[in-house]
Amino acid sequence: MTQVPSATQSDSEIKKGLAGVVVDYTAISKVNPETNSLLYRGYPVQELAARCSFEEVAYLLWNGELPTREQLAEFESRERAGRSLDPLLKQVVDELPITSHPMDVCRTAASVHGARHPLAGDSSREANLAKALELFAAMPAVIAYDQRRRRHDGRGQEPVEPRADLGYAANFLWMAFGEEAAPEVVRAFEVSMILYAEHSFNASTFTARVVTSTLSDLHSAVTAAIGALKGPLHGGANEAVMETFEEIGIRADESHADAKTRAKAWMDAALAQKKKIMGFGHRVYKHGDSRVPTMKAALDDLIAFYGRPEILGLYDGLEQAMDEAKGIKPNLDYPTGPAYHLMGFDIPTFTPLFVASRIVGWTAHVMEQLEDNSLIRPLSAYNGPDERHLD
Ligand SMILES: CC(=O)SCCNC(=O)CCNC(=O)[C@H](O)C(C)(C)COP(=O)(O)OP(=O)(O)OC[C@H]1O[C@@H](n2cnc3c(N)ncnc32)[C@H](O)[C@@H]1OP(=O)(O)O
Ligand SMILES: O=C([O-])CC(=O)C(=O)O
């Protein structure tokens, strides 16, 4: 029965932040905090990260099954064909000041991509799959170029043409840095893309579903979702993690033990000041994020590859001090922050990397929402002034 709120409604009936509220079914992923597991279409994400390419995982999330060899070949060739930096998008990006956050650039690019799309008014599953794949293919060039144009105090670097002989992850790194990344780095990056791709009804995905529920279009949903992801309580946390590392101070050649001691002291002081520490805590997981061990292993590989034990010292020090003080565990944004730093990305590019991956999850949810749509419109309890009248 529908409940109509009144001013006398008890506080317990209000689910602030929708915490604990089950809003709908989804067959795309299952987040299980009890078993600390995450399944994409039934497959543990750890298995997918160990054995699949990001393209295979994207195909799975959109279509419900992993691709056959032929399906993958067709999918890859469509993705590779859509990688070039669209001249209109480049023009738009060039118009935006380098003082703008790269997430604003991403959001604008998603919107422009939609406004000029030939199937803009078509929300059939077929059209949405095509739009999702095109956006997935196009966004890395925008993110890579946006980082390049900001470098050298804004004097910038030219965009790098994509390479059709490389997979998604290797090509992304190629376009960002203009050189081929080592296999260890490509693998760590690919693992991060797989882990970030989907996570049920998180804030940005829910945003995409709310927009879709009004029968608006896929690009509007993605544009709004990017706005939701930007905040530091959600995707923006991966940037904030690295800002914390920088605030503590990254000292090349420092030992693991010394870096750890400094990080613990920083955390104790921050918690004494009641600060919220980005990269820790989660709305759903209260005993640790299911994705962290996999990403931490990828980070460990990067630390070994680059020979940077002091980064691990900072990581361990913060984690241990937080655990001892409050028992709060890291979330996925905690290991991805230093991992992206080691790969050579600039901090403001970190959340756009999350966008590039989560486009898959958002658009899978857009299609699922449309299959059995109901306008998302919760109720509120009014607590403003009693009825009154103009004199
Ligand atoms: C990929 C992702 O988007 S994962 C999330 C990324 N976001 C972050 O890392 C931001 C930092 N973390 C947080 O702000 C929170 O943990 C959230 C927003 C992620 C989850 O929040 P909620 O489920 O609403 O829990 P809430 O914020 O109420 O925290 C519960 C308690 O733990 C404390 N707490 C939770 N996270 C943190 C943190 N990161 N640092 C310090 N204290 C924290 C809160 O202060 C609160 O304490 P209190 O009960 O004494 O007031
Ligand atoms: O699920 C959440 O609330 C946030 C999160 O970890 C994600 O979106 O990956």
Tell me which fold the domain 237-343 belongs to.
Cytochrome p450-Terp; domain 2 (1.10.230)
Nearest CA to ligand 1 atom 12: 281
333 catalytic? Reply is: yes
DSSP bridge partners of 30: 39
CB 26 within 8 Å of CB 39: no
> How open is the CA angle 349-197-167, to the nearest 5 degrees?
75
**Of the listed 117, 256, 282, 341, which one is catalytic?**
282
Residue 368 to residue 87: CA distance in whole angstroms: 32
Residue 65 CB-density burial (10 A; 0-12 exposed, 13-18 middle, 19+ buried): exposed
Cα radius of gyration rounded to whole Å, the chain: 22
Nearest CA to ligand 1 atom 43: 276
Q: Which amino acid, residue 119?
A: L
Q: So where are the chain's domains?
A: 29-231+352-371, 237-343
Q: Which amino acid, residue 95?
A: E
Residue 266 to residue 272: CA distance in whole angstroms: 10
Nearest CA to ligand 2 atom 1: 202
For residue 380, the 8-state DSSP code is -
pLDDT of residue 286: 86
202 lines ligand 2 (CB under 6 A): yes
199 lines ligand 2 (CB under 6 A): yes
Ligand 2 centroid to Cα of residue 202, in Å, is 5
Nearest CA to ligand 2 atom 9: 199
pLDDT of residue 152: 82
Contacts of 303 (CB under 8 A, 6+ apart): 309, 311, 312, 342
Residue 92 to residue 96: CA distance in whole angstroms: 7
For the chain, 391 residues long, give each residue's pLDDT as a single digit of tens.
344 444 455 677 899 999 999 999 999 999 999 888 999 999 999 999 999 999 999 999 999 999 999 999 999 999 999 999 999 999 999 999 999 999 999 999 999 999 999 998 999 999 999 999 999 999 999 999 999 999 987 778 899 999 999 999 999 999 999 999 999 999 999 999 999 999 999 999 999 999 999 999 999 999 999 999 999 999 999 999 999 999 999 998 899 999 999 999 999 999 999 999 999 999 999 899 999 999 999 999 999 999 999 999 999 999 999 999 999 999 999 999 999 999 999 999 999 999 999 999 999 999 999 999 999 999 999 999 999 999 8
Ligand 2 centroid to Cα of residue 234, in Å, is 7
Task: Provide the 10 A C-beta neighbour count for residue 130.
Answer: 18
95: left (phi over 0), alpha (psi -120 to 50) or beta: alpha
Tell me the ipTM for this assembly.
Answer: 0.98
Ligand 2 centroid to Cα of residue 321, in Å, is 23
Residue 153 to residue 95: CA distance in whole angstroms: 16
pLDDT of residue 9: 59
125: left (phi over 0), alpha (psi -120 to 50) or beta: alpha
Task: Provide the 10 A C-beta neighbour count for residue 363.
Answer: 27
Q: Which helix (H) or strand (E) holds 41?
A: none
* Selection from 259, 231, 368 nearest residue 319 by Cα: 259
What are the tokens at 105? 């650039």
Ligand 1 centroid to Cα of residue 14, in Å, is 20
CA distances from 60 to 27, 52, 55, 204, 360 (A): 12, 10, 9, 20, 10
Sheet of strand 29-32: strand arrangement = 29-32, 37-40, 43-44
pLDDT of residue 149: 95
CB 381 within 8 Å of CB 7: yes
pLDDT of residue 7: 45
217 catalytic? Reply is: no
What are the tokens at 322? 């937080």
Backbone angles phi, psi at 30, to 5 degrees: -125, 115
Backbone angles phi, psi at 123, to 5 degrees: -110, 25
**Of the listed 146, 333, 341, 365, which one is catalytic?**
333
CATH class label, 29-231+352-371 = mainly alpha
Residue 362 to residue 136: CA distance in whole angstroms: 11
Ligand 2 centroid to Cα of residue 196, in Å, is 9
Task: Provide the 10 A C-beta neighbour count for residue 17.
Answer: 9
